[in-house]
Amino acid sequence: MAQAPGRLGHAWVFLQYLLGFKRLGYDVTFVDAVPDGTDGRTTAAMVDWLRNCMTHVGLEESWSVRVTDAGHAGLSREELRGRLRDSILFNFNGFLHDGELLALPRQRVFVDIDPGFNQMWLELGLANVLSGHDAFVTVGTRIGQRTCAIPTVGQAWITTLPPVVLDWWRGESPEPRGPFTSIASWRGRFAPVDYRGKTYGLRAHEFRRYVDLPRLTGSPFVLALDIDPTDESDRLALIGGGWQLRDPRVVTRDTAAYKSFIAGSTGEFCVAKAMYVETSSG
């Protein structure tokens, strides 16, 4: 969460789990880390973003982010060690790889929120973020089925849908005749993956099929899109197809703006990454 300032959709992925477990009666703590070599100004911005997100949902005393080898913002490393002892750790995409901290929980659960990438990387020998965990959870609800192309890599996967704590969205009603909306990144962090003779691509590769959707339907579609200047031809194609593009930094500048953008929508229209679609991931 700290590494993605301003990306509220990304932040809410983790906040939903924290708030959900808290509602079930658990004590929750969010553990994060700033990348090694990050300069002081960027580190401060990352920490401030995380602090603001956690404070917004009433978890201002429930987070710790490593900013140096032993230094933490939020809870100190000593306090964090105390909370991790005998806990259950949910490690999203294996992001936490601090050996000392990983040794403390009584159970380590790998939570796969990018189905296909983690498993194929492992089989191809590109990355192994699954090792050291006791249980494996994925939002790819069809993994293990005959028609799903994602390898199980020898694990018994528990499948689950991403949680949503609806209490934080009550009272939000759509405007009459509002547009269809979405907030998305065009490519994201990962490169396409070549696996068993097939290339599994990104959202951009799938979204190009829908560039003419607004023009064909006559309905308004507003897309807050993070797109790189090198993809200018794609941006122009979207505009030509009738998409109204917005700056995602404005839409997600704070929680109020984010919720207002969503609440003013007739409905969300979003395109999944080609990796998720072409593997029949569920």
Residue-level pLDDT at 118: 95
Residue-level pLDDT at 73: 96
For the record, the structure tokens of 216 come out as 């064909």
- If one compares 270 and 140, the residue with the highest pLDDT of the two is 140
Question: Does residue 14 surpass a pLDDT of 70?
Answer: yes
Residue-level pLDDT at 253: 82
pLDDT band with cut points at 50, 70 and 90 for residue 163: very high
What digits encode the pLDDT tens for the residues 105-155?
A: 999 999 999 999 999 999 999 999 999 999 999 999 999 999 999 999 999
Cα–Cα dist 118/141, whole Å: 15
187 φ/ψ angles, rounded to the nearest 5 degrees: -120, -40
Written as one string, the DSSP assignment of 206-265 is: HHGGGTTHHHHH---EEEEEE--GGGHHHHHHHHHTT-EEE-HHHHTSSHHHHHHHHHT-
What digits encode the pLDDT tens for the residues 76-99?
A: 999 999 999 999 999 999 999 999
Q: Are strands 180-185 and 193-195 parallel, antiparallel or unpaired?
A: unpaired
